């Protein structure tokens, strides 16, 4: 059976048959009808020309039964029938990669259980979690989002056209005066593959990402900068003038063999926004090992392929959450606390294969080959299938890295 894993808001993958708009269902339905017609024709011919003297069924009747069973099997393999996402009349169920104006990425997940819809999202401001309401109204998905700090309720409406989603977010103005509309688009994410057998995955030769001397192979970046350069690249070619997007102050440097971020603020002067650092090279699936030292109350992060942030934080002695050391922020919470106190060098062994993440922190496996349905907050883009860089957060506090080595998956 052709199936597709439907992503729920908790990050789980549910298997459900999905009719793809690729003509598969249509040609198999035609084949079913053809098989039945052939069987009926053979049966009619034998009934007309053969005298039936016994109560035994004609051979053509037996053939018709066999053809009917085959036809039913063919139809079943198309995923037809009740319970499929599209046949159930709900084209919204699944995971959606959203792109906001300016290129900022976001994510929406919709699930349906016993006729009840639930929705959750990851937004550009770093907020994530379930939305207050999700319902269908005249074929449109209507969702609401509560903003307690402002005591207002936003409304998000979505219309699906195949694998494309168009959304409009409406935010009431202060004291109920006026409103702000925000349009964005989304694309259906492909189904999550099954968990890979990591024992059979082969990794290539090691690639040293940091040479210990300078920032060769690295550059400042952000989601907005990546989107800007993607749009402006052809203009740059035509005009010959360099185009750039502000990425923040550069607090990164090589010092004593370490990759160091030192985002200092000058007392009495305006706040400085510091930038994040990404590799020039982009990768598909890989295993990344590194060492990191976090100061007291320190915070950073390692984005795998620019979309999944593994948290780097001073979380020793605190309750486990997705923002604990080694957690996949907003997605996966470590199963055990394995972090060291601040100031200690710690090891991270990170494996990303088929959109599944494994994290080994200080020799202890804390996330074991778990699926990640969509991007995390502050990712470079929302497309989780494209190659991407190793991307280090530098917009928070100081941090030190060393021995960053990547081994790409090879066929």
Matching CATH number, 94-188, of 3.40.50.2000, 2.40.128.20, 3.40.190.150, 2.60.40.10: 2.40.128.20
Q: Please give the distance of CA 229 from its chain centroid, rounded to a whole number.
A: 22
Answer yes or no: same fold for 94-188 and 198-410. no
Average pLDDT, the chain: 81
User: Could you write out the DSSP letters of every residue in 49-66?
Assistant: HS---SSSPPHHHHHHHH
- Please write the tens of the pLDDT for every residue from 123-167: 877 889 999 999 999 999 999 999 877 788 999 999 999 999 999
Looking at residue 22, its pLDDT comes to: 35
Question: What H or E segment, with its residue span, contains residue 324?
Answer: none
For 87-103, what is the HEC assignment? CCCCCCCEEEEEECCCC
| Local structure of 46: helix, strand or coil | helix
Pick the closest to residue 376 from 281, 306, 288 (CA basis): 306
Provide the β-strand partners of residue 398: none
- Domain edges within the chain: 20-77, 94-188, 198-410
Percent of the chain residues past pLDDT 90, beyond the cut: 62
Q: How confident is the model at residue 158, as a pLDDT?
A: 98
pLDDT tens digit sequence for 191-213: 999 999 999 999 999 999 999 99
| Residue 406 host element (H or E) | strand 399-410
Banded model confidence at residue 353, pLDDT cuts 50, 70, 90: very high
More confident residue, 64 or 99: 99
Residue 253 has pLDDT above 80, yes or no: yes
16-25, 84-93, 131-140, 388-397: which has the minimum mean pLDDT? Answer: 16-25
What are the tokens at 183?
Answer: 């349009």
Look up the pTM and report it: 0.75
User: What is the dotted CATH code of the domain comprising 198-410?
Assistant: 2.60.120.560
What is the Cα–Cα distance from 355 to 299, expressed in whole angstroms? Answer: 25
DSSP 138: T
Task: List CB contacts of 99: < 8 A, sequence separation 6 or more.
Answer: 105, 106, 184, 185, 186, 381, 382
CA distance 106 to 171: 17
> Is 70 exceeded by the pLDDT of residue 29?
no
Residue-level pLDDT at 127: 86
């Amino acid at each position: 059976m052709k199936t597709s894993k439907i992503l729920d808001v908790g990050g789980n993958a549910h298997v459900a048959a999905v009719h793809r708009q690729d003509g598969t269902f249509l040609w198999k339905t035609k084949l079913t009808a053809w098989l039945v017609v052939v069987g009926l024709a053979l049966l009619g011919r034998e009934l007309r020309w053969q005298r039936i003297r016994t109560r035994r069924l004609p051979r053509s009747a037996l053939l018709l039964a066999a053809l009917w069973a085959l036809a039913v099997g063919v139809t079943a393999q198309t995923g037809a029938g009740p319970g499929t996402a599209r046949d159930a009349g709900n084209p919204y169920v699944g995971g959606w990669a959203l792109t906001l104006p300016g290129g900022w990425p976001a994510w929406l997940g919709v699930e349906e259980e016993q006729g009840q819809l639930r929705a959750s999202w990851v937004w550009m401001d770093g907020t994530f979690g379930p939305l207050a309401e999700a319902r269908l109204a005249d074929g449109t998905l209507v969702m609401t989002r509560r903003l307690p700090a402002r005591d207002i309720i936003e409304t998000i409406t979505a219309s699906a056209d195949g694998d494309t989603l168009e959304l409009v977010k409406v935010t009431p103005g202060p004291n109920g005066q006026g409103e702000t509309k925000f349009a964005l688009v989304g694309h259906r994410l492909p189904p999550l593959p099954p968990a890979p057998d990591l024992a059979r995955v082969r990794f290539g030769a090691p690639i040293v990402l940091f040479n210990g001397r300078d920032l060769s192979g690295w550059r400042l970046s952000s989601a907005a900068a990546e989107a800007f350069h993607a749009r402006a690249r052809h203009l740059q070619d035509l005009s010959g003038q360099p185009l750039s997007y502000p990425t923040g102050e550069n607090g990164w440097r090589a010092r004593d063999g370490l990759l160091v971020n030192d985002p200092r603020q000058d007392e009495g002067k305006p706040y400085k926004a510091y930038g994040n650092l990404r590799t020039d090279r982009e990768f598909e699936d890989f295993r990344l090992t590194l060492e990191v030292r976090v100061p007291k109350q320190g915070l950073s992060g390692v984005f795998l392929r620019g979309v999944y942030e593994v948290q780097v934080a001073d979380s020793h002695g605190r309750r486990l959450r997705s923002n604990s050391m080694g957690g996949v922020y907003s997605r996966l919470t470590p199963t055990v606390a394995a972090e060291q106190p601040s100031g200690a060098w710690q090891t991270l062994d990170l494996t990303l294969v088929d959109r599944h993440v494994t994290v080994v922190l200080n020799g202890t496996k804390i996330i074991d080959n778990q699926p990640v349905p969509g991007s995390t907050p502050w990712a470079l883009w929302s497309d989780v299938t494209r190659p991407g860089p190793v991307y280090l957060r530098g917009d928070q506090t100081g941090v030190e890295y060393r021995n960053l080595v990547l081994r790409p998956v090879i066929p």
